[in-house]
Structure 1
Amino acid sequence: MQQIVFVGALTVFYIGISVLKHLREKNPIHIQYQIIKFLLIEYIFCVLAVTILPIYIHLGESISWAGMTIQLIPFHFVKEYNRLIELDLFYLKIAIKNVLGNVVLFVPLGFLVPLIYKRFRNIKHILFIGAVCSAFIEVVQMAEMYLGFAFRMTDIDDVILNCCGCVIGYFFCNKFIIHSKMECIMQRI
């Protein structure tokens, strides 16, 4: 529920600001550009809602900094999931959900950002934006854990998997632009 209210409020705020901006500037509106930009903004709101919210307010004991989990060893999850799967196949479903979820979560970022911003139409730049956005989420999750608001783990594997998703989205974007009429629209942006 908290996520729906968050995304809804931000959407109304964004639409209001956009309408006021266009009324004041009196510039022609490129509807395709505005739709893609709106999709990117909505995507960002949804990612923040999924990764940052809900924020739990604890009224008793809170989580201590000493008990916080920060995983900085790349691909440590493979060994950990293998161990857990040997104990119970239930963990296989969790492992698949975690890996695919982290990859799929950033595919839209890699797809939409190059459509809007020319400077992000190369792999290095899109990988950079994916890493920065993912690292931001992990730092916020660490802060939430430190402050006792959430029970999340900060994990370098999430950053790596998010970057993989961003690159996949970038390749889809390239195929989409090359093999469609979208190339004409993109030249105007």
Structure 2
Amino acid sequence: MRLVLKGIFGLYAIALVYLFFFLPTRQNVSGGNIVPFRTIRRYKKQYELFKLHLPSAYGIEAQVYGNILIFIPFGFILPILFKRFRNPLLSIGLVFGLSLLVESIQRIFRIGQFDVDDIILNATGGIIGFVAFIIGDWLMWEYKKRNLSLE
């Protein structure tokens, strides 16, 4: 099972590399954002303006939720595969660091914009994944404990 999970995680990592560095983008790469929550506030205003025009509203939702969802597997799978990532600071720190690295590489090589809000949203996804791991781990422990006490 562990080998299968490592394989799935490897495919996930390859997909992320493609998504972040090789997928053609239509965005302007000359700008960027270093002010926390600026882009998120802009998305909120645009969503309120465009919610009657559904394709634009869905694009905004996809941008925000996509940045969160894409890093949930890191927060969930890393602690399963590597015990040292059961430390929340280490696990979330790695997600934050990877997101910062991705944003920096995109900016340096002009294949995307540096946006601190993407880092915030990615870290949020990592935290959600880690919390899901903690809950799942606790449920498994409780299940095993109850089954042992019934025998």
Q: TM-score, normalised by structure 1?
A: 0.65
Q: 1:171 aligns with which of 124, 131, 136?
A: 131
Deviation at 1:105, TM superposition (A): 0.2
Residue of structure 2 equivalent to 1:54: 23
- Residue 68 in structure 1 maps to residue 30 in structure 2: yes
- Where do 1:103-142 residues align within 5 Å? 103-142=68-107
Deviation at 1:180, TM superposition (A): 2.6
User: Which deviates more from structure 2 when the two are superposed, residues 171-180 or residues 130-139?
Assistant: 171-180
Letter in 2 for 1:72: I
Aligned residues: 138
Deviation at 1:82, TM superposition (A): 3.8
Q: Secondary structure at the match of 2:22?
A: coil
The structure that has the greater radius of gyration is 1
User: Which deviates more from structure 2 when the two are superposed, residues 169-178 or residues 123-132?
Assistant: 169-178
Which consecutive unaligned segments of at least 5 residues does structure 2 have? 145-151
Q: Is the 1:103–1:161 contact (alpha carbons within 8 Å) kept by the matching residues of 2?
A: yes
Deviation at 1:109, TM superposition (A): 0.5
Identity, % of aligned positions:
23
- Residue 45 in structure 1 maps to residue 7 in structure 2: no
User: Which deviates more from structure 2 when the two are superposed, residues 74-83 or residues 86-95?
Assistant: 86-95
Q: Is the 2:74–2:129 contact (alpha carbons within 8 Å) kept by the matching residues of 1?
A: yes
Which consecutive unaligned segments of at least 5 residues does structure 1 have? 1-31, 57-62, 185-189
User: Which deviates more from structure 2 when the two are superposed, residues 90-99 or residues 116-125?
Assistant: 90-99
CA 1:174–1:87 in 2, change beyond 3 Å: closer, same or farther?
Answer: closer
CA 1:85–1:165 in 2, change beyond 3 Å: closer, same or farther?
Answer: closer
